[in-house]
Structures are given as C-alpha cells and as structure tokens.
Structure 1
Amino acid sequence: MSVTAVGAFTDEQLELRKTVRALLAKHADPAAVRKAAESERGYDAALWELLCQQVGVAALAIPEEFGGIGATAVETHVVFEELGRTLAPTPMLGSVVLAAQAILASGDTDACERLLPGIAEGTSVAALCWTGAEGSWDTDNVGVTAQGDVLTGSSHFVLDGSYADVLVVAAAVDGVVALFEVDPAQDAVTRRRVPTMDPTRTLAVVEFAGATGRLLTSDGAAALERVREIACVALSAEQVGAAEQALANTVEYSKSRVQFGRPIGSFQALKHRMADLYFLVETARSASYAAVASLAEASESAASDAAVAKVYCSEALQSVTGDSIQLHGGIAITWEHDAQLFFKRAHGSAQLFGQPRAYLTSMKSAAGLTA
C-alpha cells in the first residue's frame, strides 16, 4: 500500500486511522495521558497492549518473516499522526521505530529472529542507546566505547531506556561506530529516568561499566543513518497530528471566549492569525506526506525529504503551539490546561534526532550553498 504526497490514502489506511483514533479517544483522554505520564514507566501499559493486540501497531513496520505485518511506512505514519493528536505516551517511537529499525538495519538475521517478534507483539520493549551527553545524534559521535565485546560509557536521551528489556547500543570500536545488543539485566548496566521538558516523553540515561555486548554490525554509522531517516519521517507525522489538534483546541476556545460582548474568534485579526496557523499545519502535512511517500517508495530523494519534514514540521508545531498559548491567554500557562503540554511536546520533539538548524546546514552543504 502507498500514499501520494497529497494524502490519497487507501481504504485500509483510512480504516486504520479510524480504528486508532477511536481507541485513543476512549483510552487516551487528557486525564489519562497525564496519569500515564506520571506513572513509573511513563506510559499506560494497558493502552499499549490494546494498540498492539487489537490493532497491531507495533507489528506494522516489522517484516512478516520476523513476526510482523510487513506493511509500508505509510501505515505507521497514520498511527503516529493519531498518537500526536492525543500526546499519548507509548513505546512506539523508541521501541518500534528506533530500536526495531536499528536491529533490521544491522542485517543480523539471528537478532531479528530472536528480538523482533516480541517487539511486534508489544510484549518486549527495546531501546536504542545512541547519543552522548551533548545530544548531537551524529552517526560518528556516540557516548559509548567498546573493547572487543566489553562496553563502557553512557548514552543519553534514550527513549524508553529506563524500562526496556532489550538495548541496542551504538559504541565506538577503534574510532568506528558499531551496534551491539546488550542485556540490561547485567550488573554493569545502570539506568535512570531523567526529568524532561515534555512530561509525555520518557527519556533515560544508560551507563555501561564493562557491560558485555553482542556485535550486531560493525557498520553502525550506515545503520544509524537509515534509522534517523525513518525516525524523522515518523516524528513529522506525530508533529502534524499534534499541531492539528493544538489548532483545533485554539479555534474551539476562540468560539467560546467572550470579550467586548462577542466571541474573540469573530475578530478579524484573530481570524487572520488562525488562518495563518491553518496554512502552517497543512503545509507541514504536505511535507510529512511527501517524506513518507518517498520513504515507502525508496525514492532517491528520501533522505532529503525526511530532512525537510524534520525541519518544517518541527518549526510548524512550535509556531502553532506558541500562538496557541498566546491566543488562550493566561490560562494556557497553567499546569491544569493542556495547551502547555502541546507546547512542551513541540519544543522537546524539535530536539530529537538533531536540531532543525543541523539539518539546514547539512542541506545547504549538500546543495553547495555557504549561506
């Protein structure tokens, strides 16, 4: 199944969207999202089980020979867009996209056969330990080193790292990045969940003090490049969903908030402002859909389209949520209001997999531009 850049989804994809949206509407309302974010693991295990067992979201991007459904990137894209609407915290991005795709990209058939079926079922959660303390997300700059199969160092900003039962670790071996499978139950592995700007996104620091790993691939840089491309596209879908919902919440509020005897949404200046935000959401959607279409079709422009989606969708969500705060007024900065959660998701997500300016610099360099 495929999708065009303008969003011509198939009937099956539309039904998938409808099913996921209905399930999240029932089990991931704002109160449930807050409760899940404050829990020990940072997500609702019961909701994750429903998504995996009833819909099969974790199995979509995993090949059939490894226990998955073997769908295209488009189906996963649909799921992420719906997850973005609710900000529902799940292991979808950390386990299914980052870790599972890293295992696949390693080309290690034995690891795929052992690890991917559990991830596809949702009974196992994996985490990719990639970046160092500086959070660069470079493919040749990691926080862990390896001597043979012994790993030392620390990985930061690890999605789902505090509770994952499988760790895929990027480690430098004689200056070259490789990927290792590491059992987190070892005494030489310590993990801690860290405070984050976005309470709906669980991040951890994972430390290795002579932990034993199993080599997955000695060409970790190539695997991580592939993973980053897939992750940026998936993240853009989540950002589009969040931006659309944040705008919808703002429009609804403007219809009910009365000032000078009339709803504030009736003032021309605010109409124009929200029209501009609508344009941002729709152009971000176009960039995201173009990127997933390129990814699904293995287009030559897939990497550049993913970078464009990363930059544009990050900036669009930040703009929409920033204006949402202003248009709601003082109530939006209170803990009780959901606008601040969307704002925090926007700024937290923009830093994942590299800041937008890093992609702009890379794209300019590739195009032969210096400014």
Structure 2
Amino acid sequence: MEGPVQVSTSVDLLYSETEDQLRAAVRDVLTDHCTAAAVLDRIESDEPHDRELWKTLAAEMGLAGLLVPEKLGGQGATHREAAVVLEELGRAVAPVPYLSSAVVATELLLGCPAERPQVAAQIGELASGRLVGALAVPFATAPHAPYARVRRSADGLLHGTVTAVADAAAADLLYVATDDALYALSADQDGVTVTPRTSLDLTRPLADITLDGARGGEPVSEDPDTAVRRALRAGAALLASEQLGLADWCLTETVAYTRDRHQFNRAVGSFQALKHRLAELWLETVNARAAARNAADALATASPEIPLAAALAQAYCAPVAVHAAEEALQLHGGIGMTWEHPVHLYLKRAKADAIGYGSAGRHREALAELMDLRAP
C-alpha cells in the first residue's frame, strides 16, 4: 500500500468538446443497436455478449484502442475518453466486454515490456477488437488485495482454477499470473476450460477458468505484480464512470416517469416526499460525476494520486449506483417490478458492480491508509 498522498486541487473535471462529440457518437450507436428490448432478449439467449455491437464499437469506431498509443495500432486517446465511453455503456447496460478487454486487459499489457514482440502484437489485436482479452482474477479483486495465481509445474505447464472472472466466456486471450510471471493463453487451447457461472448480472457474465496442464509458452512479463496492479487500478477507477452512467440513466428515467404518472389527478413527481428523494439522488449523482471524472483524469495525467482517486471513486460511486437503481425500481411502481421493464437490469448491474474490483468498504479502508487515518 502506498504511503500518505497530498491532494491536488487543480483538476479540470469539465468535459471537453471532443469528449462531448464522442459521447454523442457512442450514444447514437447504442440508441440504434442496444435498446432495452434488445438487451432483455440477449440475456435470455445462449450468448449474452452482443458480438455485433462489439464489432461496431471496437472495430468500426475504434473504441477498443482508445488507451493504446498510435504506434501500437490504437487511437492514442486518454482515460478521460474511455471514461466517457463507459458512461454511455453504463447508461445502456450494454452486454459488451469493454471494461474487461479495452481497459483491464489492455492496461495489463501496457504494463508489460513493450519490446517483446508478443506484447506489441497482442496490444494491437486488442486495440482492433479482433481479439478480446480477460485478466484471470475474480471480478471482486481490489487493486490493493491479493490476487489469484496459478501454479507452474517443473515441466512448464500451468495448473489451477480461478473463479468468477468477468467476461471470460467471451475472451480469446486469458492472462494468468504465477508467482514470477504473467502468461497469455488462448481460451481454446488444450488444458484450458472456461465454465460459465450463474451470474446476477447477465450482461456481464462470470466464468471459472481451470488450467490442467496448459502450456504457457513465453511469458509476457516476469513482473506480474506491477502489470496486474496497474490493470486492477484502472479497472476500479473507470468502473466508477460506468456506475455514473447507470445512476444518471436511473435518475433521468425516474424523473420522467414521475412527471408522466398521475395519481389523484396529480403527477406523482409533484408529491413532496418524492421530490425530496429525487433531489437527494440528483445530489449524489452530481458528486459521483466529480469522483468518477477525477479518477479518469488522474489516470489520463499519470497522477501520483491515482490510488487515492480510484479508491475514492469506488467508495462513493458504487453505493450511489445501487441507491439510484433501487430508487428507480421503487418509484416506477408496479411496472418497475416486472421483467418486461429494463430497470431490473440496472439494479443487477449496480449490485454486481458494487463488488467489482473491491467493495466500497475495501476502498474506504484503502482511503484511510492512503490518508494516514488508520483506525486505532
């Protein structure tokens, strides 16, 4: 755990014109190709990931390569732009592996020695969207917590099981760590078994990865800890933007519904008790935006405050997303309790994200250590 940090006060959290244009483009695509009805149909199918939508976002729009330098085949953008994309994906609960592949797996490889041919090649494949990557750690692993490792036997084969890995079923490349190396495995090679699990959030399904004599080949790094910590920290920091988008959708849709829904010849949104609940939710969402934007900016500027910003964002944004989804479900009344209405998708995503890359409680503990406010 890093020592105490000094907090900067000169961060620009406003969206740039480029970021606003990116948001508009992504929202247009999701409006056309990721409607609530389409997502509901998708999660009831045998293939919860929307590969056509992923192709559009990753390959045609180039969004999978936002964090990748142009010389490696990416767009050379920053984490601020990736955060905008995640806000929109959160608003749509889009069933695509963007966070797992374009953020976590990509950050993992960017933390490996770039001079290795396989590293540069895999970064390019992930940036193009031709391949999907997944880091083989449980989705609930916090950036500062111990993470899952597998065993490498004397004959060079890998053995072990990693449970509850997000988007592993959609991945082409699985990144697994041993005590002294990081390996990239093809998901369909001999000795690798990916078993889907029953997941609360079917738009981001989990799976177990079992290695039984899988051949690791040449490692992508002999310093797994540095790469894995970097990837988990980026995942936690940018997950906050997804949670922000989710909360914003819940607030917007609930306000619109309470304006249209009438009881006793009045819009239910005019009732004082509901006004207070929605006003509180609006304040929480505004604050969540500040925390999420701060985390994205810290990553984009390689700030020394990244651990602090990521922990703060998760400690605050995760509970806000859950609260927003719960309020949306309750204030939609009877229709909100039906499977036909999409609000349950948002509640399940919010609940699942609340433990993604560490719970809010784990991040509050990390904040206390970073600020030298440990409990006696």
Give TM-score scaled by structure 2 length.
0.91
CA distance in structure 2 between the partners assigned to 1:123 and 1:66 by the alignment: 14
Q: Does the aligned pair in 2 maintain the 1:61–1:70 contact within 8 Å? A: yes
* RMSD value, Cα: 1.9
Residue 5 of structure 1: how far off its partner (Å): 4.6
CA distance in structure 1 between the partners assigned to 2:306 and 2:52 by the alignment: 35
CA distance in structure 1 between the partners assigned to 2:31 and 2:362 by the alignment: 36
> Are 1:157 and 2:161 counterparts?
no
Moved more, 311-320 or 152-161: 152-161
Q: Does the aligned pair in 1 maintain the 2:95–2:203 contact within 8 Å? A: yes
Q: How does 1:121-200 map to 2 (within 5 A)?
A: 121-131=128-138, 140-147=146-153, 149-173=156-180, 178-200=181-203
CA distance in structure 2 between the partners assigned to 1:256 and 1:340 by the alignment: 20
Moved more, 113-122 or 345-354: 113-122
Q: Does the aligned pair in 2 maintain the 1:60–1:68 contact within 8 Å? A: yes
Moved more, 284-293 or 116-125: 116-125
Q: Partner residue of 2:118?
A: 111
Q: Does the aligned pair in 1 maintain the 2:97–2:204 contact within 8 Å? A: no
2:238 to 216, 234, 239: 234
Residue 117 of structure 1: how far off its partner (Å): 1.6
> Are 1:23 and 2:33 counterparts?
no
> Are 1:288 and 2:292 counterparts?
yes
For 1:36, what is the secondary structure of its paired residue? helix
For 1:167, what is the secondary structure of its paired residue? strand
Change in Cα spacing, 1:286 to 1:136, as seen in structure 2 (3 Å) is: closer
Change in Cα spacing, 1:370 to 1:74, as seen in structure 2 (3 Å) is: closer
Residue 18 of structure 1: how far off its partner (Å): 0.8
CA distance in structure 1 between the partners assigned to 2:372 and 2:21 by the alignment: 44
Residue 136 of structure 1: how far off its partner (Å): 6.4
Residue 334 of structure 1: how far off its partner (Å): 2.0
Q: Partner residue of 1:369?
A: 373
For 2:198, what is the secondary structure of its paired residue? coil
Q: How does 1:193-342 map to 2 (within 5 A)?
A: 193-213=196-216, 214-342=218-346
Q: Does the aligned pair in 2 maintain the 1:146–1:171 contact within 8 Å? A: yes
Moved more, 106-115 or 262-271: 106-115
CA distance in structure 1 between the partners assigned to 2:111 and 2:44 by the alignment: 33
CA distance in structure 1 between the partners assigned to 2:76 and 2:195 by the alignment: 34
Give the letter aligned to residue 97 of structure 1.
Answer: V
Residue 139 of structure 1: how far off its partner (Å): 5.2
Give the letter aligned to residue 203 of structure 1.
Answer: L
Q: Partner residue of 1:54?
A: 60
Residue 240 of structure 1: how far off its partner (Å): 0.5
Relative contact order, higher structure (CA 8 A, sep 6+)? 2
Moved more, 138-147 or 231-240: 138-147
Q: Partner residue of 1:359?
A: 363
Q: Does the aligned pair in 2 maintain the 1:85–1:244 contact within 8 Å? A: yes
Q: Does the aligned pair in 1 maintain the 2:90–2:244 contact within 8 Å? A: yes
Q: Does the aligned pair in 2 maintain the 1:66–1:112 contact within 8 Å? A: no
For 1:335, what is the secondary structure of its paired residue? coil
Residue 369 of structure 1: how far off its partner (Å): 2.6
Residue 171 of structure 1: how far off its partner (Å): 2.4
Give the letter aligned to residue 127 of structure 2.
Answer: A
Change in Cα spacing, 1:282 to 1:317, as seen in structure 2 (3 Å) is: same
Unaligned runs of 5+ in 2: 1-9
Unaligned runs of 5+ in 1: none
Give the letter aligned to residue 128 of structure 2.
Answer: E
- The percentage of counterpart residues that share the same residue type is 35
Give the letter aligned to residue 205 of structure 1.
Answer: D
Q: Does the aligned pair in 2 maintain the 1:140–1:221 contact within 8 Å? A: no
Give the letter aligned to residue 53 of structure 1.
Answer: A
Give TM-score scaled by structure 1 length.
0.92
Give the letter aligned to residue 129 of structure 1.
Answer: A
> How many pairs are equivalent?
363
1:88 to 94, 105, 113: 94
Give the letter aligned to residue 138 of structure 2.
Answer: T
